[in-house]
Amino acid sequence: MRQAFASVRMKLDPLVCACRMARQTAHLMVGLQDYDAYAAHVRTTHPDIEPMDRATFYRQATDRRYGGGPGSAFRCC
Amino acid sequence: MTAARSHLPWIALGLIGAFALATVALHRGESIGALWIVVAAVCTYLVAYRYYSLFIAEKVLRLDPSYATPAVRLNDGLDYVPTNKNVLFGHHFAAIAGAGPLVGPVLAAQMGYLPGTLWILVGVVVAGAVQDFIILFLSTRRDGRSLGDIIRQEMGATAGLIAQIGILLIMIILLAVLALVVVKALVGSPWGMFTVAATIPIALFMGLYSRYLRPGRVGEISVIGVVLLMASIVYGQHVAESPTLAPLFTLKGETIALLIIGYGFVASVIPVWLLLAPRDYLSTFLKIGAVVGLAVGILVVMPEVRMPAVTKFIDGTGPVFAGSLFPFLFITIACGAVSGFHSLIASGTTPKLIENETQARFIGYGAMLTESFVAIMALIAASVLDPGIYFAMNSPAALIGTTPESAAAAVSSWGFLITPQDLTLLASQVGENTILSRAGGAPTLAVGMSHILSQLIGGEALMAFWYHFAILFEALFILTTVDAGTRVCRFMIQDLIGNAVPSFRDTKSWTANVIATAIAVTAWGYFLYQGVVDPLGGINTLWPLFGISNQMLAAIALMLCTVVLFKLKRERYAWVTIVPTVWLLICTLTAGWQKLFHPSPSIGFLSHARKFSDAAARGEVLAPAKSVEQMGRIVLNDYVNAGLTIAFMAVVLAMVFFGIKWIFAALKADGVTANDAHVQPAE
């Protein structure tokens, strides 16, 4: 049973992967990074620091994108 | 043997492209399938990508797969994040794709579809995509520094300061001309005005929702926003037909201009999450959707191009914009062939996210090819219209009058037969009172898109919906640019004044914020208002000025690339950037010179000023002025425009001077002198 399950998941994997990538692309188009990737990154590289929560992360990302600092949105013509 | 065989499919592709291009170029007669243009473009892109961009990647830049990019070295999960190349391609394309490639080709269609098509294809392959690619590479090698910073680093502080002032001036003209496109699209159109106005409460709702209710759920709130937008388009028809509501949203150009100026100010001082960010979501996704929709429409409907290959207006007498094919075609189609603005994007967020520098080829060169394809589609959308319709929509009232009868007579006398009934029928089909003299590109593109999309979905019944959908998506997109651009201008002004008064740099200071925003809004608002009251429609004057400034920025960026190639001791390959730099310098300086000194008042600012000041001296009043005082204001406007043109030319000539100086210094030096993050071996 478990094996059948695993094989179904294997088949679905590319689909799940494509969906995740589409979602990530859409987010990055408006300048938002992936929160889960960020949290995972902080946990592995800085185990002593607690990552920001989701709301703070998106708030900061929005402010940074239009705030004129590094990485601010420079809309094109 | 196998190596040679691997080229065979590409040779075949090249032959197909050459055949399609020859068909497009040599065809004379009634009409030609738009698909020929699409095939010619796609084959050109694929072959150029396969060979030319590979040559640049391997020989000129020597991209190094083992080089640790800033995203890898400085990974913080926030600003520097190694990102999948397909995801990053989407990000980069969304950032470079703006209203420019949609407007320029539509205006250029007055010379026929052929000159525009050829320039878009040649320009992107040898200039636009090269610039985007190399600047992305340079910035990646410098921790994702901005264009201004790289110029300062490689060409000295003075060159950096001059470039910074140049970029600010270009921003101001860009914002004015884009806002003018929106004004032109919304004048006397209650339906359009209502839907655009409705985007403000919709965006505010989205902003509050994603701030307080469901932070970070971009997909969810964007879907809600798009549904509300579609509802506002549908309801807009009711507004346009209502005797009580329609007058509220039927506004004159001057009023709309003042509203946009006021909006620009308010929108850039309130918090970004409230209005700007949600509008950005809507406009980005709507634009991607509209571009994909248009591509599908063209492929499925396979419309016929009815515009002649070349019209008589290549001689410079065209009603849409004045000036002959050279240099003005190359100025009019800026984005889509080569756009200096992209150098600011390619040195913005993308270099901080790139996983491996070899991907700069796919992202930098590839995304620009895609943008160029958007320009080709805009050109097709304008060219599938009956030429009579196209000219009636894009010629100023000063030339064709204000009634369908006068417009039909004038346009027919140019050789593009059209009846007054055709013009009124189309206006009613798209739900407008009139379609005459709607220069600026957006309405023409909207009619072209509704022509194509209604054949795909909905037929004639949905023409008005598609028209207003296209107007809304362009207006929304441009207003987001106006909003974000005013903010960027504000920071630049704060930074420039900060050179003298350091406390002005504090971005948290409310006083500095309001003063700098007011300066920014007044600057572009001045040009916007001037364009709105211009009897020739404003686009006539401002679009060439914008085109000149944008191409000059491209020349500056390519000049920087050239300097760095010399500093890397790769002068053997420097022609890759020298050729487009020289071409852009020739075009922009000639165009700038003509805008200043051309004897025809419709082209030269100074002769226009002379015409009005002479008339004023004789006590005559020329349209659009209604008094001698207004005559004086028109003369002043001409001098301001002339001054700005001189400023652009001075900036670019100064950069040429610094460029040549640094090239000679690099030639004299013994080794590599570029400020690369890791020095590469010399030749």
The 10s digit of each residue's pLDDT in B33-45 is: 999 999 999 999 9
User: Look-up: residue for tokens 């219209």?
Assistant: B385
**Domain containing residue B340: CATH number:** 1.20.1740.10
Residue B339 region by backbone torsions, left for phi larger than 0, else alpha for psi between -120 and 50, else beta:
beta
pLDDT of amino acid A34: 87
Q: CA A24, CA A36: separation in Å to the nearest integer? A: 11
Say if B207 falls within a structural domain: no
Q: Is B607 within 8 Å of chain A by CB?
A: no
Average pLDDT over chain B, rounded to an integer: 93
For residues B290-312, average pLDDT: 95
Cβ separation of A66 and B87 shorter than 8 Å?
Answer: no
For residues A51-61, average pLDDT: 90
Contact A34, B453 (CB under 8 A): no
pLDDT of residue B681 exceeding 50, the answer is no
Burial class (CB in 10 A: 0-12, 13-18, 19+), B301: middle
Contacts B95 to A, Cβ<8 Å: 29, 73-76
pLDDT of amino acid B85: 95
For residues A3-16, average pLDDT: 74
pLDDT of residue B6 exceeding 70, the answer is yes
Cβ separation of B490 and A37 shorter than 8 Å?
Answer: no
Contacts B507 to A, Cβ<8 Å: 67-69
Q: Residue B359 phi/psi, 5° resolution? A: -75, -10
Token digits for B103?
Answer: 């407007």
pLDDT of residue B2 exceeding 80, the answer is no
Contacts A41 to B, Cβ<8 Å: 75-77, 81
In a 13 Å sphere around the CA of A1, the CA atoms on its Cβ side amount to 0
Say if B209 falls within a structural domain: no
pLDDT of amino acid B678: 56
For residues B308-334, average pLDDT: 93
Q: Buried b vs exposed e over B227-247: b needs ≥16 C-beta within 10 Å?
A: ebbeebbeebbebbeeeebbe
Contact B557, B340 (CB under 8 A): yes
pLDDT of amino acid B539: 86
Confidence of residue B269 (pLDDT cuts 50, 70, 90): confident
Contact B559, B581 (CB under 8 A): yes
Contact B309, B110 (CB under 8 A): no
Q: Which residues contact B264 (CB under 8 A, 6 or more apart)?
A: B175, B179, B482, B483, B486, B521, B524, B525
Token digits for B405?
Answer: 């009868």
Taking CA–CA distances from A27, the nearest residue in chain B reads B218
Cβ separation of B273 and A45 shorter than 8 Å?
Answer: no
Closest C-alpha to B554, from B588, B601, B505: B588
Q: CA B559, CA B550: separation in Å to the nearest integer? A: 14
Interval B350-391: pLDDT, tens: 999 999 999 999 999 999 999 999 999 999 999 999 999 999
Q: Which residue has the higher pLDDT, B620 or B137?
A: B137
Q: CA B106, CA B288: separation in Å to the nearest integer? A: 19
Taking CA–CA distances from A43, the nearest residue in chain B reads B77
Q: Which amino acid is at B485?
A: G
Interval B480-520: pLDDT, tens: 889 888 988 998 899 889 888 999 888 788 899 999 999 99
Q: Which helix (H) or strand (E) holds B636?
A: helix B628-668
For residues B475-481, average pLDDT: 90
Provide the domain limits for residue B645.
2-188+251-668
pLDDT of residue B682 exceeding 50, the answer is no
Q: Which amino acid is at B172?
A: I
Q: Which of A40-49, A59-68, B632-641 has the lowest mean pLDDT?
A: A59-68
Interval B434-444: pLDDT, tens: 999 988 889 99
Interval B140-175: pLDDT, tens: 999 999 999 999 999 999 999 999 999 999 999 999
Token digits for A56?
Answer: 């703070």
Q: CA B450, CA B446: separation in Å to the nearest integer? A: 6
Instruction: Give the rounded percent of residues in chain B with a pLDDT score beyond 90.
Output: 80
Helix (H, G, I), strand (E, B) or coil at B660: helix
Q: Which of residues 500-529 of B touch A (CB under 8 A)?
A: 507
Closest C-alpha to B347, from B150, B178, B200, B211: B150
Number of domains making up chain B: 1
Contacts A76 to B, Cβ<8 Å: 95-98, 100, 335, 339, 341-342, 344-345, 481
Q: Is A37 within 8 Å of chain B by CB?
A: yes
For residues B300-318, average pLDDT: 94
Contact B95, B345 (CB under 8 A): yes
pLDDT of residue B536 exceeding 80, the answer is no
Q: CA B267, CA B495: separation in Å to the nearest integer? A: 20
**Beta strands of B281-328 (E only): which ranges?**
304-305
Confidence of residue A12 (pLDDT cuts 50, 70, 90): confident
pLDDT of amino acid B203: 96
ipTM for the whole complex: 0.87
Cβ separation of A28 and B90 shorter than 8 Å?
Answer: yes
- The distance of Cα B395 from the centroid of its chain, to the nearest Å, equals 21
Q: CA B89, CA B77: separation in Å to the nearest integer? A: 19
Confidence of residue A2 (pLDDT cuts 50, 70, 90): low
Cβ separation of A25 and B90 shorter than 8 Å?
Answer: yes
Closest C-alpha to B532, from B252, B292, B234: B252
Contact B239, B191 (CB under 8 A): yes
R_g of chain B computed on alpha carbons: 25
Say if B681 falls within a structural domain: no
Interval B544-558: pLDDT, tens: 999 999 999 999 999
Q: Which residue has the higher pLDDT, B614 or A69?
A: B614
For residues B245-257, average pLDDT: 95
Q: Buried b vs exposed e over B623-646: b needs ≥16 C-beta within 10 Å?
A: eebeeeebbeebbebbeebbebbe
Interval B197-206: pLDDT, tens: 999 999 999 9
pLDDT of residue B683 exceeding 70, the answer is no
pLDDT of amino acid A70: 44
Cβ separation of A45 and B352 shorter than 8 Å?
Answer: no
pLDDT of residue B619 exceeding 50, the answer is yes
Say if B227 falls within a structural domain: no
